[in-house]
Amino acid sequence: MVSLPILQFEEKIVQTVQDNPVVVIIGETGSGKSTQLSQIFHRHGYSKSGVIAVTQPRRVAAVSVARRVAQELNVNLGEEVGYAIRFEDRTSPKTKIKYLTDGVLLRESLSNPELSDYSMIILDEAHERSLNTDILLGLMKRLVKLRPSNLRVLITSATLDGNKVSDFFMNCPVLTVPGKLYPVEILYSNERPTSYIESSLRTAIDIHVHEPEGDVLIFMTGQDDIEKLVDKLRDKVQSLEEGSCMDAIVLPLHGSLPPEMQVRVFTPPPQNCRRFIVATNIAETSLTVDGVVYVIDSGYVKQRQYNPTSGMYSLDVVQISKVQADQRAGRAGRTRPGKCYRLYPSKVYQDELLDVTIPEIQRSSLAGSVLYLKSLDLSDIDILKFDFLDPPSSDTLEDALKQLHLIDAIDTSGSITNVGKIMAELPLEPALSRTLLEANEYGCLSQALTIAAMLSAETSLLPGRSKHSEKKRKPPPDLPDGSGLGDHIQLLQIYEYWHQIDYHIGWLKDNDLQVRGMLFVRDVRKQLSQIIQKIAKGNLDVQEAESERERRRDYKNLRKALCAGYASQLAERMTLHNGYRTIGFKSQLVQVHPSSMLRTDDDGMFPDFVVYHELISTSRPYMRNVCAIKVSWVIPIMKKLENLNVNRLSGGSDQVTDGEQRKSSSLLQQKNLAIEQDDRESKIQAARERFLARKAEREQSLGRKAKK
């Protein structure tokens, strides 16, 4: 193995880390940060006094890098070298080097705030600026003060603005590892292609036919497009005249690929064979594939963005930033001079691309993170003023506080409640944790666990469930039909049936259900029930026996629990059509997602009220995964909306202290609040009236039908 750049600076790095509690290390992608730093410090005895932790924003990277390091050290994965990602822990008491997602480390710090198991924490891929890494940065700042003598923190990154982080950590040293990057020739398109799949295909084949050997890395935005391009590329390569060019293999690379497919990109190709690797931005910095000489860059990336005003997520294809474009190009110059084909004009690069990517913290819902920070119980933390490298917008923070209050995780003065504390311990989003706790009270925890597991599965479980599919999902035919009550209940019934027939794999296949996904759900469910058994009062076995009764009751308790958990995600149907209006801080018109299994009643209408799992904006705002609920459960929640004071919720003081300005703005706020309150009162009233009107109408029409 050629010595990786980082190894040439081993002594310097070790010395600097010895002398400083926090060090930033900047090095080219592929220079060995992720795989070598942990080993360097392992060699220098840092793993004697504790475990060396290396965080990764992506699950795939944690697994892949751990596997690689175990291989290099010639040990079994899970022993000296292991990894931990949500719902999968492959470590043992022997583990000295532990790769984990940033989310898992955050969770660990809940039960062990000083993270005393670790002698060193390496926050890797910090330039990705994932939400969890950003929060960890803030926490590390406190932690190094608490453990100045026995903890070392390293922050590593390919492209991060080292000085900014250094400023944040009181001018800590920044080490730059010079990488030897070969020149990369950049070729721009004259104009934007109408289809970047077709354009990538043409460019790839052009390279294959005309350019000397070397692998081709193609950046696409997501799994769907990757699969399309892989198919087209395979067809095209096959149709080339035999002997006209070298052999070719086409490989996909993205986060939802099964592990055995992922590792294929790391096996060297046979002689005289060109590889085409079609990847998401995972290949930008997280995973380095050797042998790449040509890069095709679509210029786009898929990004989830959250709009706190509407409470809506959208999965948008957006332009990459200049930093990302340069990263992508750099992938071509690792082993020798390469070429990067940008499928956009240089003018776009110059004028349109942002300089840097917007950090996730500024485009996510923060309900989970804020609950987390609240549960740390650090008395001096006012969430609205937490020490962030880049603070989120106050809208987003306020949105999170309100959501948390509605589901009882924080009280009116912003203190975390007992319910909130338990919620924070569950590795689930707040709405689902809350649902579980409520279900436990009602004796239907077992079923709520199944729903939580089904919703947590990252892969698509059902036919037509792919992100873009607008096809209606279909429940398997041999199930009780729960679709009148919505997706949650239907998902539950699918799982329960599968459980009844002893997890029969053939049945999954016959019904087009994803085998890998369903096995994952079963595993997640088991883990969740282990975690919650410790805190729950109820006896799960008894509850499982309850399930038939609950079914006969139309899942009333279960749906009530969902209503409590998703109190900030309610919607009311319009009187005359099947559109809905969300209930909450900002009401808006939304539709049931076309893929939903929710069915209309005999009159062709959807239920009056639903909770939704998420709001997603594609061509228009849609609710994905909905469950029918009752108006009587909704009224108390609407009442709760009345008395909200965000300043108090943040944990800061709501007292008017000094200065005229504060006073007047606070007065203004009070006035606004009063107006909002009026507004809400009348909304509640209106909702009641609409409901009653509908009910009367319904009864009349039923009466008519009965008469006929």
Q: Which residues bind ligand ADP (CB under 6 A)?
A: 4, 27, 29-36, 64, 67-68, 266, 288, 290
Contact 42, 52 (CB under 8 A): yes
Question: Min. distance of Cβ 289 from ligand ADP in angstroms?
Answer: 6
Contact 492, 447 (CB under 8 A): yes
Question: Min. distance of Cβ 162 from ligand ADP in angstroms?
Answer: 15
Q: What angle do CA 44, 50, 56 make, to 5 degrees?
A: 85
Question: Min. distance of Cβ 105 from ligand ADP in angstroms?
Answer: 18
Q: Please, where are the H alpha helices in 155-195? A: 162-168
Contact 125, 157 (CB under 8 A): yes
162's contact among ligand ADP, Mg ion, none, with CB below 5 to 8 A by partner kind, is none
68's contact among Mg ion, ligand ADP, none, with CB below 5 to 8 A by partner kind, is ligand ADP
Nearest residue to Mg ion, using CB?
34
CA distances from 503 to 447, 489, 514, 605, 607 (A): 16, 19, 13, 35, 32
Give the interface segment with Mg ion, choosing from 27-35, 323-331, 359-367, 433-441 (CB under 5 A).
Answer: 27-35
4's contact among ligand ADP, Mg ion, none, with CB below 5 to 8 A by partner kind, is ligand ADP
**With binding defined as CB under 5 A, does residue 281 bind Mg ion?**
no
Question: Min. distance of Cβ 333 from ligand ADP in angstroms?
Answer: 13
Give the interface segment with Mg ion, choosing from 33-41, 252-260, 335-343, 533-541 (CB under 5 A).
Answer: 33-41
**DSSP reduced 3-state for 83:** strand
**Length of the chain counted residue by residue:** 708
Q: Is 29 exposed, middle or buried (0-12, 13-18, 19+ CB in 10 A)?
A: buried
Instruction: Decide whether 156 or 403 has the Cβ nearer to ligand ADP.
Output: 156
Instruction: Decide whether 103 or 538 has the Cβ nearer to Mg ion.
Output: 103
Contact 166, 14 (CB under 8 A): no
Q: What angle do CA 334, 336, 341 make, to 5 degrees?
A: 75
Instruction: Decide whether 52 or 564 has the Cβ nearer to Mg ion.
Output: 52
Question: Min. distance of Cβ 19 from ligand ADP in angstroms?
Answer: 23
* Cα 261 from Cα 286, distance rounded (Å): 17
Question: Min. distance of Cβ 65 from ligand ADP in angstroms?
Answer: 6
Instruction: Decide whether 178 or 636 has the Cβ nearer to ligand ADP.
Output: 178
440's contact among ligand ADP, Mg ion, none, with CB below 5 to 8 A by partner kind, is none
Q: Is 466 exposed, middle or buried (0-12, 13-18, 19+ CB in 10 A)?
A: middle
Instruction: Decide whether 37 or 426 has the Cβ nearer to Mg ion.
Output: 37
Q: Encoding tokens for residue 282?
A: 């995972």
Question: Min. distance of Cβ 292 from Mg ion in angstroms?
Answer: 15
Question: Min. distance of Cβ 179 from Mg ion in angstroms?
Answer: 12
> Which DSSP helix (H) or strand (E) runs through 581?
strand 580-583
Question: Min. distance of Cβ 24 from Mg ion in angstroms?
Answer: 15
Number of residues that bind Mg ion (CB under 5 A): 2
Helices first, then strands: H and E counts in the chain: 24, 21
288's contact among Mg ion, ligand ADP, none, with CB below 5 to 8 A by partner kind, is ligand ADP
Instruction: Decide whether 39 or 435 has the Cβ nearer to Mg ion.
Output: 39
Instruction: Decide whether 24 or 205 has the Cβ nearer to ligand ADP.
Output: 24
**With binding defined as CB under 5 A, does residue 34 bind Mg ion?**
yes
Sheet architecture: strand order including 22-27: 88-90, 81-85, 97-101, 51-56, 118-123, 152-157, 22-27, 174-177
Instruction: Decide whether 177 or 409 has the Cβ nearer to Mg ion.
Output: 177
Q: Is 465 exposed, middle or buried (0-12, 13-18, 19+ CB in 10 A)?
A: middle
* Cα 156 from Cα 174, distance rounded (Å): 10
Instruction: Decide whether 266 or 507 has the Cβ nearer to ligand ADP.
Output: 266
Q: Encoding tokens for residue 310?
A: 């509407």
Give the interface segment with Mg ion, choosing from 25-33, 41-49, 181-189, 298-306 (CB under 5 A).
Answer: 25-33
Interface ranges with Mg ion (CB under 5 A)? 33-34
